[in-house]
Chains A and B, each alone.
Chain A
Amino acid sequence: MIEVTDLWKSFGENHVLKGITLQVPKGTTYVILGGSGSGKTVLMKHVIGLLRPDRGTIRVGGHEISALEGKALTDARQLFGMVFQGAALFDSMTVYENVAFPLTEKRWKDRPHADEIRARVVEKLKVVDLGEEVLPRFPSELSGGMRKRVALARALVSDPQVVLYDEPTTGLDPITTDYVDGMILNAKNKLGITSMVISHDIASAFKVADRLAVLYDGHLAAEGTPEEVRQSPDPFVQRFLSLWFAKQ
């Protein structure tokens, strides 16, 4: 579903990605672990075409995202939903307007009827355990966990094939973190969605991942199933994981 091949990216003298290659099969959850500033978000923004690579290709569902521009790139983005680290809800809009946004902003010939939009908004909010009472509220009136849930509902409302999660559990309490992990698993199990998660939350990563990669110094220090990554001989990976596994 997602194929990243030999991806390189620099910002001035800062070489962030140095030849990343990975594949995410359809219907699976792929987690990229890494420390702060390791380039995880940069990698994810390449996948959705928000950044252009210096070298390398990104293919998603048959589209070569790295080669698309303008309308073709806009159309290809219909494949995606994305949950941002801080939820990135539009603070001047209500919950309803936020979740409905990907539908109301479609071209008029593709735009569903207003009744259908409302039905789909309510349905997706239900998937994340939120009722209709939140529809008229503004993001500033919601808790951090609720904002993440609304953001996931917005990412799911246009029935995307791929959902990208940028640090979905950062800053959340353990109960909400567990809830968000459940949402990611539900999206895969119930809706068959392909997910890519970037995180530095090792517990969540091992819980939701079908495959895992550890990003360090611009390259993948380890890649495979959670068990394979856990057994990786790479010194950084061992150090990165040991701090968490030592606590268990």
Chain B
Amino acid sequence: MQRVWAAFEDFGRMILFAVEAVAWTFRPPFRPDLVLAQMAFIGVGSAFIVGATGLAAGMVFALQMNYALKQFAAEGYVGGSVAFSLARELAPIFTALMVTGRAGSAIATELGTMRVTEQIDAMESMAVNPIQYLVVPRILASLLMFPVLTMVFNVIGYGGGFMMGVYVARIPIGPFIEHTREFMDPADIMHGLLKALVFGLIVSIVTTWRGYAAAGGARGVGEGTTRAVVSSSIAVLVADYVITFISVGT
């Protein structure tokens, strides 16, 4: 019972932390250079792993769909089903999980180390708010870069699906493209990008909070990082279900 209460208390603190971060976002001084640096770290730094995952996912998904649809002589729909699945589901969720593993863990470790070595206290003692200096740029950068990375995943994933479908499964280019246009709607892309935005918010808040609240030396930082990755991943999966349910129903 005590552990459940502690978990609720921790969640409440995280929500207050998030509210404080939102409040500091709109107060000067604004630090665009720090936001750009975080965009480079979270966005550019994660582009390779997101692109590689997208390529693999698109290629494998195209082969699987080709195998399934061939039974109904409907191979032409491979392009459409790959694009549709990538845009609405695979791209935002895979991107969020990959970025959590790469950048989220680094954020939690960096802030946790700064906490236990008193660098955050030092910043505060120098009249600089650490939430505004350390947390806000990471949240803003995540909100901007998660949708961008999701689009990178979409494009490369579809490219991978196209290569497998057209050059390996020998599906004619015409039906492949035409059925993609039939299946897909700009709203599908927007649905995925909305998810990416929400996932970016969740991952950045959870990972910065776990680092910011770290305590107890190197072990505390390690535990904070593990909890950051696990909690973010679970929260992303739950949010994915909720958004999908609200969007498409049963």
A interface residue numbers (CB < 8 A to B): 45, 48, 50, 74-75, 77-78, 80-82, 84-86, 88-92, 101-102, 105, 107-108, 154, 158, 164
- Min distance, Cβ B122 to any Cβ of chain A, angstroms: 4
**Which A residues lie within 8 Å of B127 (CB)?**
74-75, 77-78, 102, 105
A158 closest partner in B (C-beta): B126
**Which B residues lie within 8 Å of A89 (CB)?**
119, 122
| B64 CB-CB contact with A under 8 Å | no
**Which A residues lie within 8 Å of B113 (CB)?**
91
What 1/0 flags go to B111-148 for Cβ under 8 Å of A? 00110011101111111110001000000000000000
B interface residue numbers (CB < 8 A to A): 28-29, 110, 113-114, 117-119, 121-129, 133
**Which A residues lie within 8 Å of B123 (CB)?**
90
Contact partner, B125, options A82, A86, A105, A108, Cβ 8 Å: A82
In addition to A85-B118, A101-B126, 13 A-B residue pairs with Cβ atoms within 8 Å of each other are A50-B124, A86-B118, A88-B117, A88-B119, A89-B119, A89-B122, A90-B114, A91-B113, A91-B119, A102-B127, A102-B128, A105-B133, A158-B126
- Min distance, Cβ A61 to any Cβ of chain B, angstroms: 14
**Which A residues lie within 8 Å of B119 (CB)?**
88-91
**Complexed CA–CA distance, A90 and B122 (Å):** 9
**Which A residues lie within 8 Å of B28 (CB)?**
107
The B interface, classified by DSSP as helix, strand, loop or mixed, is helix
Take A75-B127, A105-B133 as given contacts and tell me if A88 and B29 are in contact as well, using a CB distance cutoff of 8 Å.
no
Q: Are A50 and B125 in contact (CB under 8 A)?
A: yes
**Complexed CA–CA distance, A45 and B127 (Å):** 14
Q: Are A105 and B118 in contact (CB under 8 A)?
A: no
- Min distance, Cβ A81 to any Cβ of chain B, angstroms: 8
B29 closest partner in A (C-beta): A107
**Complexed CA–CA distance, A38 and B122 (Å):** 21
**Complexed CA–CA distance, A187 and B28 (Å):** 33
**Which A residues lie within 8 Å of B133 (CB)?**
105
> What 4 A-B pairs are tightest by C-beta distance, nearest first?
A88-B122, A77-B127, A88-B118, A82-B125
**Complexed CA–CA distance, A82 and B114 (Å):** 16
Q: Are A86 and B126 in contact (CB under 8 A)?
A: no
B129 closest partner in A (C-beta): A74
**Complexed CA–CA distance, A160 and B17 (Å):** 30
**Which A residues lie within 8 Å of B118 (CB)?**
84-86, 88
B122 closest partner in A (C-beta): A88
A74 closest partner in B (C-beta): B127
Contact partner, A86, options B29, B110, B117, B124, Cβ 8 Å: B117
Q: Are A108 and B117 in contact (CB under 8 A)?
A: no
- Min distance, Cβ A106 to any Cβ of chain B, angstroms: 8
Take A107-B28, A107-B29 as given contacts and tell me if A84 and B126 are in contact as well, using a CB distance cutoff of 8 Å.
no
Contact partner, A77, options B29, B110, B126, Cβ 8 Å: B126
- Min distance, Cβ B33 to any Cβ of chain A, angstroms: 11
Contact partner, B126, options A91, A102, A107, Cβ 8 Å: A102
**Which B residues lie within 8 Å of A102 (CB)?**
126-128
**Which A residues lie within 8 Å of B128 (CB)?**
101-102, 105
- Min distance, Cβ A220 to any Cβ of chain B, angstroms: 24
- Min distance, Cβ A110 to any Cβ of chain B, angstroms: 10
Q: List 15 A-B contacts (CB under 8 A).
A: A50-B121, A74-B129, A80-B125, A81-B125, A82-B126, A84-B118, A88-B118, A89-B119, A89-B122, A92-B110, A101-B126, A101-B128, A102-B127, A105-B126, A105-B133
- Min distance, Cβ A100 to any Cβ of chain B, angstroms: 11
A77 closest partner in B (C-beta): B127
**Complexed CA–CA distance, A107 and B29 (Å):** 6
- Min distance, Cβ B50 to any Cβ of chain A, angstroms: 24
**Which B residues lie within 8 Å of A101 (CB)?**
126, 128
**Complexed CA–CA distance, A102 and B113 (Å):** 21
Q: Are A82 and B122 in contact (CB under 8 A)?
A: yes
- Min distance, Cβ B109 to any Cβ of chain A, angstroms: 12
